[in-house]
Structure 1
């Protein structure tokens, strides 16, 4: 019995890890799986900022503008869903204005699921005082599993 539980726990751990290194982009009904290596092939941007949930850190990721362009998303807003089904709608114009990123690293380390990962929306809050609002805190979606073009 202990052996069966051990094997099950190894399998379950692997499944959880496998689920944590990709997200789904939904655009016009088409679902595309995007992995961390896919994101790393795109130009990256670093943002040094704090969030309502973290001290000042250097976040590395892909500008959402670049991600949306690469996958031919032309909508005026996107809805970002966390793994726990929390979601928030983000206006694309705002993402462009502030060079908002989809971060996969914090302080040069991949963001673990227990630390808000594998992906988190990062606004440059410390650079723009107008971004230190409750609304932007709500838009800082973490543990992202799905992005849907609206």
Structure 2
């Protein structure tokens, strides 16, 4: 699983930019963000994301046969760390699926940028490496089409606007 970088060391010495990823970047965040590390973007490798404070919940999803315990950083925490300003985020997956999520969702629900299912890193074949996941079992209103379409798996890019 590689070495985990302590959360505090993710920032460069000036505290205005994020240290660049050491490993391969698996997530790029662009748009209206104040904290960057590669040009005007913030790029994260797996170790950087795993070093963030982790949260989790048990839930069933419309795409999996059984419930699972999903964990990773809250998406609102990631955006707050980057000084994101905007009304919504545009999320793109490895297969070019795209969805727009209102940032209000991230404050109304504990939306994860899930990295793990049942303690294991999710491989691409099983919705990984990153999955924008709502706590479906905790809120009946999340079971509709609107929130299903916002639950993007195989996330590779987030654009704040």
1:40 equivalent to 2:45? Answer no
Q: Higher relative CO (CA 8 A, sep ≥ 6), structure 1 or 2?
A: 1
Using the size of structure 1 for normalisation, the TM-score is: 0.83
1:58 equivalent to 2:69? Answer yes
Runs of 5+ consecutive residues of structure 2 not aligned to the other structure:
1-22, 34-39
2:59 to 46, 49, 57: 49
Alpha carbons 2:32, 2:85 under 8 Å: kept: no
Q: CA RMSD in A?
A: 1.5
Compute the displacement of 1:27 (Å). 2.4
1:129 equivalent to 2:133? Answer no
Alpha carbons 2:27, 2:45 under 8 Å: kept: yes
What's the counterpart of residue 141 of structure 1?
152
What's the counterpart of residue 14 of structure 2?
none
Runs of 5+ consecutive residues of structure 1 not aligned to the other structure:
1-17
Could you tell me how far apart the structure 2 residues matched to 1:72 and 1:28 are? 8
Compute the displacement of 1:75 (Å). 0.9
Could you tell me how far apart the structure 2 residues matched to 1:64 and 1:75 are? 14
Higher helix proportion (structure 1 or 2): 1
Compute the displacement of 1:133 (Å). 0.7
Q: Choose 1 or 2 for highest CA Rg.
A: 1
Using the size of structure 2 for normalisation, the TM-score is: 0.78
